[in-house]
Structure 1
């Protein structure tokens, strides 16, 4: 058996499972939200599975390293089946008519499901199958690692270094966005902090299914778009705050934007009635390079006035910044 090279698949699987499980442990709502967005059976979503999944991944990560024969092989097979299941779920999500956000690695891997996600999962399945081959060895992964020669350690180190360089070079940050705000009335220094651009050509549909481009929406003044999803656990603070923000920021109009239909959204979150617009096929949120939850401020002059910002904390901070700018400009009453 190729002792050195076949040490890498189980080590990689163990590291991925450990990172994934640890990232999910403290973010169970995000995992449950992913189950909702991936349209998994409601009985599964409402069960203990979202809470148990990270611990299953952590246990498998340890078992892959330490299990001796004959237990190593069934552990490797279970791990491979888990990754095949992940691939099936992702492939199914690509057939949905709206964008889906998947916290595949907890908040570390929060992002929209794309064909690139499916390609990544195919590669992980291949690695898992190599892990099954590796599990047919006469000793555990840990024992082989301890007994590895100096050449094998150098080889493994070079592979890890290569992977680190590739990740840091091409990985990038998903949904990166500026938090600067440039609303009318901001001082000159604030304007320099945020490079304003014309509004992109994108459309949103109202409750009557009438399409409006972003320029039309801002003819009567600035509009704050808050992209949310009822199935997104991290969107809950923004969803609960939209009606209050609509009052606090007036005359700036606050609009919750959803990829699902307005009727379906109101059925789940009735308090958003009258505060929603539909983003058909999730085109507009993609144009902004964002995901749920996120926010962007459209200026009444046909220019972007702030954002987009991504993430529950950044959205809340962004809204507070907008409010402070409006107070400074005397647009709204401090009371």
Structure 2
């Protein structure tokens, strides 16, 4: 690795940048960080509360040490970074085997998305970089020593690498749709027919969505246990159901009967389960999510996903109901 000091330096700087970005983002959204522990089902041997509070500070400390540690100390630092990256990779790989999509805020306030193979590939690449950084440190290298010995060509190579990373970040960043465009789409909401789907009630009976909405509009709220945003959303449902009754019935849709029968955040009679995950698959949503089904057989709003958007959707539905003329 000493024969390629610029490459080694780029690897270490990349890791430091990723860790610093992740640490700052986690500090900005501590709730999302705590939720990630629940969503990824981090083993109980790691206490979620203290660990989620300490993790961003640990990432920031490692980022700083990668830059300033001498070669001997850098061996320990890069070894810790490698262990951390491997742990992240293992958690993501395991999450891909779960029955439901896992929403993880791996970068705190900067990233809240469903874990997929791209997430796993990213973590594998970061683990490889951490391995390269450890090799560099064991070979006697350090950031300070490489920077001290860089010639003009080396500095230009570093500048080019930083520029390439910046361009890549800007290109990837353009993939998300602007909020204004999303708002325009909502204003021009096109109503589709309610798709076929079934839910199972507490008494074991099965009802399809068409029958459920034949006499009353229904607000479906898709949830799952062990999900922080889902728990906070579920806690709003009793009050929401009271506000919307009798025009709109609220149903909390859980992945199985066990989850539906053990709810404590809201009234038990609001909970139903979905055989084979047909509701979330039919509407292509993760959790938490919500969709309003009209009594005329058409969608009346949504689906929306994510705690913030679902909460805003609840408020919009309540406001729309209030604006309806009394009959």
TM-score (ref. length: structure 1): 0.83
In the TM superposition, residue 24 of structure 1 has moved relative to its aligned partner by 1.5
1:296 is paired with a residue whose SS is strand
Confirm or deny: 8 A CA contact 1:21 1:53 kept in the other structure.
Answer: yes
Q: Which runs of 5 or more structure 2 residues have no equivalent in the other structure? A: none
Matched, 1:252 2:239: no
Q: How many angstroms apart in 2 are the aligned matches of 1:280 and 1:287?
A: 12
> Does the C-alpha gap of structure 1 residues 271 and 319 become closer, same or farther in structure 2, counting only changes over 3 Å?
closer
Aligned equivalent of 1:27, options 26, 29, 32: 29
Confirm or deny: 8 A CA contact 1:179 1:318 kept in the other structure.
Answer: no
Matched, 1:326 2:321: yes
Confirm or deny: 8 A CA contact 1:21 1:55 kept in the other structure.
Answer: yes
In the TM superposition, residue 22 of structure 1 has moved relative to its aligned partner by 1.4
Q: CA-atom RMSD, angstroms?
A: 3.0
> Does the C-alpha gap of structure 1 residues 256 and 202 become closer, same or farther in structure 2, counting only changes over 3 Å?
same
> Does the C-alpha gap of structure 1 residues 38 and 327 become closer, same or farther in structure 2, counting only changes over 3 Å?
same
1:307 is paired with a residue whose SS is strand
Matched, 1:11 2:13: yes
TM-superposition CA deviations, 1:17-72 (whole Å, max 9, x none): 11111122243332232222222233523551121111111111111111111111
TM-superposition CA deviations, 1:277-324 (whole Å, max 9, x none): 324565533554443333222222332222233333332222221122
Counterpart for residue 134 of structure 1: 136
Q: Relative contact order (alpha carbons < 8 A, sep ≥ 6): 1 or 2 greater?
A: 1
Counterpart for residue 154 of structure 2: 152
Matched, 1:314 2:309: yes
Q: How many angstroms apart in 2 are the aligned matches of 1:290 and 1:266?
A: 22
Residue-pair matches, total: 321
TM-score (ref. length: structure 2): 0.84
2:237 is paired with a residue whose SS is helix
Aligned equivalent of 1:225, options 215, 220, 224: 220
Higher helix share: 2
Q: Which runs of 5 or more structure 1 residues have no equivalent in the other structure? A: 183-189
The more displaced of 247-256 and 106-115 is 106-115
Q: How many angstroms apart in 1 are the aligned matches of 2:101 and 2:200?
A: 16
Confirm or deny: 8 A CA contact 1:31 1:50 kept in the other structure.
Answer: yes
Confirm or deny: 8 A CA contact 2:291 2:304 kept in the other structure.
Answer: yes
> Does the C-alpha gap of structure 1 residues 154 and 249 become closer, same or farther in structure 2, counting only changes over 3 Å?
farther
Q: How many angstroms apart in 1 are the aligned matches of 2:38 and 2:49?
A: 12
In the TM superposition, residue 161 of structure 1 has moved relative to its aligned partner by 3.6
Would you identify which runs of 4 or more consecutive aligned residues in structure 1 move more than 4 Å?
176-182, 208-213, 280-283
Matches within 5 A, 1:167-246: 167-170=169-172, 172-173=175-176, 178=182, 193-208=188-203, 210-246=205-241
In the TM superposition, residue 81 of structure 1 has moved relative to its aligned partner by 0.9
> Does the C-alpha gap of structure 1 residues 212 and 7 become closer, same or farther in structure 2, counting only changes over 3 Å?
farther
In the TM superposition, residue 98 of structure 1 has moved relative to its aligned partner by 2.6
Matches within 5 A, 1:261-300: 261-269=256-264, 271-280=266-275, 282=277, 284-300=279-295
Counterpart for residue 58 of structure 2: 56
